Amino acid sequence: MPLNNTQRLDRIKVRIAELAHWRERESVPVDGWTVNGAPIAVGDGWPTREGVLKFAGSAQVPDGWPLSDTRLMLNLGGESLITLTYPDGTARSFGLDPYHQEFPLAAQSVEIASDSVARLPFGEPVREPRVQWARLSWIDKPVHELHLLLRQIAEACDALGDHEVCPHLLTAAEDALRSLDWPSDGPDYVSRTSSAVMQQKIWQLPELKENPAGLDDASRKTVEDALASLTAQLSELAERFPPQGKILLTGHAHIDLAWLWPYAETRRKARRTFHTALGLMETSKDFHFNQSTAHYYHQLESDDPELLESIKPYVKEGRWETIGGMWVEPDTNMPTGESLVRQVLYGQRYFEKTFGVRHDVCWLPDCFGFSPALPQILKQGGIDNFFTIKVNWSETNRFPYDLFWWEGLDGSRVLAHTFDNPMQGYNGFVRPDCHVPTWKNFRGKEVHDETLLAVGYGDGGGGTTPEMVEREVQLRDFPALPSARWGRIDEFYARARAAEPETRYPVWAGEIYLELHRATLTTQSHVKRMHRRAERSLITAETLESFATLLGGDAPQNLETSWHHVLKNEFHDILPGSGIKEINDDAVNELTEAYDTGIAAQDAAMGAIAGLLPKGDAAKAIVVANPTSSPLALNVATDGGYLSSEDTVPALGVAVFDLAKLEPASGLQASEEVLENAHLKATIGKDGTVTSLIHKATGREALADRGNQLWVYPADKPRNWDAWDIEDDYARKGVELTEVESRELVESGPHRAALRIVKRYRASTVTQTYILTASGRRLDIETTIDWHDRRTMLRTLTPANIRARRATFECAHGVVERTTHTNTSWDAAQFEVPAHRFADLSEPDFGVALLNDAKYGHSVKGNLLGLSLVRGPVYPDPLADEGEQTFTYALYPHTGAWHEGGVRQQAEALNQPLPSVTASGLAAGAHALVTLDGVEVALSGLKGAEDGSGLILRVNEPAGRSGALSPTLPDGWSVGERVNVLEEAAEGDALAPLTPFELRSWKIKRG
């Protein structure tokens, strides 16, 4: 009775598996190993699994073995960088991991050395590391090639299913297998196949031969003939069943800069992976490899400069793509717009300096959603194309496109592509059952005939394997499958652009929100807080130094090195908090260093500014700078106490106040129940919540119910991805903190009033201080959390006395509007969303904003403003967010819409307190150093030009308005040409009206 095709395929798979046992023609052990100078035998355990161990050994290829077919088979027990040194002094290095354990040799004699760690690629400890095997093997090449080709046929039949080519493929495979004259001698056969799954299940195997016989010449001839015949049959079938679709293959090794391993291990991973890729390039003239991240190449300058120099010729040749154009592959939800600008500025400059290339493809395969500010920044940095794959991870709604124009806030468009490979995503494989579904899932095939596929082991590095390179060659003459060839990613995008006009590809406008990994906006909040402070510290330092320059002082110093610390820690597993404890500790330390550098530069700049201001009769003065684009009321902390008056500090300027004449704003009153000034009246209830918040200018009550309710959610226990995810049902079990442990009026004016409330949840303590300054228009809630509860989340909820169908959330260089209802699944999925310094809910004439100086996870559904404050996940850091942290959020009622009511300005003031310095002998007065007349804009950056010639002024329109804008500078300075984010001449009139959400930069020069 004939078998059906499924049964035939099962039978073929069993027979294919038999061939693998004859792949190694002969083998000899490699003995005489040492570890850290002490002897160790194959099979022995390591003396320690901590740190980097150095193994050493040597091998001699037996006489008569062809070197081209000889391999070093090695598994030392963890991950290693092995170096093979030959008698002539030449050396080759390779990465050793579970997927790279066979290495070619260049001479008959070789010395072997390794740097090894007892870890696997995803950071898992090898609990009992030992030298697993070490041998030289003579590969029976015809057996190897036939075995691989038959496997590819079986994989193709699995993937193609009922395709009419499959019976022909099965017949060709059966004919090849039947044509073999295979050994059957009992002892040799059983010994050869003893590692087979079914053999390993036998109660007791017979005594096995140490070196069972391989194929004899006659049997090998049948293998060679079968391979030739099968290859010819496949070529004939390929004419009858031509390829369906095209796939561009790019070798890839996604190396997370830090994730489940510390950064020191990443440096080793990069070297291992890059050496492996170089080895493949040396043996294959067709192989292409891509590796993003300027930071990796920068670190090679000190870690392995010879390796960096070895990469450069392949970059010049075009087969190694140093792709991406950014310093790292950053998270894009949380960095400021200026940080994203610096990712591109410093990334592109480094690639051009080091390799002589710039990039036009942004490569972000693994980030957790994408800011709508990104297309404009990319375009201004010479990057016209965008790649990701993470959009395919959304759990609720399928992202509708995979080849499309992504339109940003301002209307800038980049060509975006994603592929849907169900076999490990961007860590793909060269094999038919990876290619077929990837092509099948490509919805853009209706308008373009080619998709991408990145192949190689990744996340923990490793990259492409020699087998993947061999497979690509075999699949060139294969029927029915998509054509898959190595190539350049930038050329893929060039072909896609040439294939169709813009009008044929669909357009996705705005943010790309990932319906997953929402907890990355909150987890490891100490890193997020320090990152916010560090980027703000550097931006302000550059601004203040530029103020001094405009006043006649020295040119600003270049803070690029400190920016590198910030940019590195924006990596998409560091800033989101999805890594182990060690990387978060490192991040806090590095970000603190950047912050301290910025503060020191600010202090020096303020001293310089004070020395450059007009002299006068103020015996004791305070010099206050405003590094924002809006005038701000005087609210400043000094060594002598807090000052709050109705005086203002001009936008992008400085003011000198005579302390003897400075008066607090009138009307501040405080008790244990009420904080009140001329603008607000806040009533604090017995449970510590805000029971009333009156906006005096309108007389409106801002709250629909108690504000600043603190809720603990003890069921914050995701199905997967503990540090990454918040489940949609987390709020079904909540505990409100209503018991007040203590209550104290700690300040009562005249410049500031403060009421402290202490609450407790189990082992954790929440201390909140309500603060109202004399001239303040917002109610600050300074919060110190001492957190000691696992798998619980703390949030603040405020029901606003507002009815609006949309809420506004700040993002990089603008805002995102999102619905407050759940009409569709797209609306409902956005139950936790990113925002920077504010979320606002407004009617046309009145609104309430929730401001913060350290948080990113928000929610606004109905009239409920929510902010996530802390979580307690246990993987991959069992004590994430354990301990004390301090931050501030605020409630701000206002007239008009958010952009009319000063929401952005109040958020800026909360995040950047006005810098000040005391001085004597100065004239009181205000000095506007950069005046921006026209449409309201936000400052992105004011810094020294990278080429040392003058300054760069960069602003963005933050609210979606158009209008003229004219910068005015001090005497002796002029606005020069319009420049892009790379600080090169840009198209367009320098003083043309700004368009909604436009980012514009100018060169500022003396004269």
Q: Which residues contact 921 (CB under 8 A, 6 or more apart)?
A: 615, 616, 617, 618, 619, 621
Distance of alpha carbon 259 from alpha carbon 272, whole angstroms = 17
Domain assignment of residue 535, yes or no? yes
Q: Which residues contact 306 (CB under 8 A, 6 or more apart)?
A: none
Domain assignment of residue 680, yes or no? yes
Residue 54: CATH number of its domain: 2.60.120
- Whether residue 388 contacts residue 416, with contact meaning beta carbons closer than 8 Å, is answered with yes
Task: Name the phi and psi angles at 686, rounded to 5.
Answer: -65, -25
| pLDDT of the residue at 500 | 80
Residue 184: Cβ within 10 Å count: 7
User: Within a 13 Å sphere around the CA of 767, how many CA atoms are in the beta-carbon half?
Assistant: 10
Q: Are residues 487 and 346 in the same domain?
A: yes
Domain assignment of residue 758, yes or no? yes
Distance of alpha carbon 718 from alpha carbon 731, whole angstroms = 13
Token pair belonging to 982: 């790379």
Final residue in a domain of this structure, among 868, 898, 927: 927
Domain assignment of residue 198, yes or no? no
| pLDDT of the residue at 502 | 67
pTM, two decimals, is 0.97
| pLDDT of the residue at 211 | 87
Domain assignment of residue 206, yes or no? no
Residue found under tokens 């004239």: 923
Token pair belonging to 467: 């087998």
| pLDDT of the residue at 1 | 67
Distance of alpha carbon 965 from alpha carbon 936, whole angstroms = 8
pLDDT, mean of each 10-residue run, the chain (1007 residues):
91 96 97 98 97 98 98 98 98 98 98 98 97 98 98 98 97 97 94 93 93 94 98 97 96 97 98 98 97 98 98 98 98 98 98 98 98 98 98 97 98 98 96 98 95 97 98 97 98 94 88 98 98 98 98 97 98 98 98 98 98 96 98 94 96 97 96 98 98 98 98 96 97 97 96 98 98 98 98 98 98 98 98 98 98 98 98 98 98 98 98 97 97 98 97 98 97 96 96 97 94
Strands (E), 603-737: 615-618, 621-626, 632-638, 641-649, 653-658, 669-670, 674-676, 680-684, 690-695, 700-701, 709-713, 735-736
Residue 561: CATH number of its domain: 1.20.1270.50
Roughly how many angstroms between the first and final C-alpha of the chain, as a whole number? Answer: 95
Strands (E), 340-392: 361-363, 385-387
Q: Are residues 340 and 252 in the same domain?
A: yes
| pLDDT of the residue at 640 | 85
Q: Are residues 746 and 817 in the same domain?
A: yes
Distance of alpha carbon 391 from alpha carbon 810, whole angstroms = 22
Tally DSSP H helices, then E strands, for the chain: 19, 54
Q: Are residues 31 and 104 in the same domain?
A: yes
Final residue in a domain of this structure, among 861, 892, 927: 927
The one-letter amino acid code at 390 reads K
How many Å is the maximal CA-CA distance in the chain?
111
Residue 322: CATH number of its domain: 3.20.110.10
Active-site residue set = 366
Q: Are residues 795 and 843 in the same domain?
A: yes
Q: Are residues 832 and 720 in the same domain?
A: yes
Domain membership of residue 16 as a residue range: 5-21+143-184+214-240
Q: Are residues 680 and 577 in the same domain?
A: no
Q: Are residues 893 and 981 in the same domain?
A: no
Long-range pairs, 310-319, Cβ under 8 A, ≥24: 310/278, 311/274, 311/278, 312/354, 312/355, 314/278, 314/281, 314/289, 315/355, 315/356, 315/357, 316/355, 316/356, 318/488, 319/281, 319/287, 319/288, 319/289
Q: Could you tell me the CA-to-CA distances from 116 to 122, 126, 299, 466, 681 in Å, in that order?
A: 15, 12, 20, 22, 65
- Whether residue 257 contacts residue 328, with contact meaning beta carbons closer than 8 Å, is answered with yes
Rg (CA), the chain: 33
Written as one string, the DSSP assignment of 546-610 is HHHHHTT-PPPPP-HHHHHHHHHTTBTTTTT--S-HHHHHHHHHHHHHHHHHHHHHHHHHHHHHH
Final residue in a domain of this structure, among 467, 491, 509: 509
Q: Are residues 695 and 805 in the same domain?
A: yes
Distance of alpha carbon 50 from alpha carbon 67, whole angstroms = 36
Domain assignment of residue 460, yes or no? yes
Domain assignment of residue 794, yes or no? yes
Residue 976: CATH number of its domain: 2.60.40.2220
Q: Are residues 123 and 106 in the same domain?
A: yes
How would you classify the pairing of strands 793-799 and 806-811? Answer: unpaired
Q: Could you tell me the CA-to-CA distances from 543 to 547, 555, 623, 710 in Å, in that order?
A: 6, 12, 15, 37
| pLDDT of the residue at 985 | 97
What is the number of domains present in the chain? 7
Q: Are residues 410 and 313 in the same domain?
A: yes
Domain assignment of residue 176, yes or no? yes
Q: Are residues 459 and 321 in the same domain?
A: yes
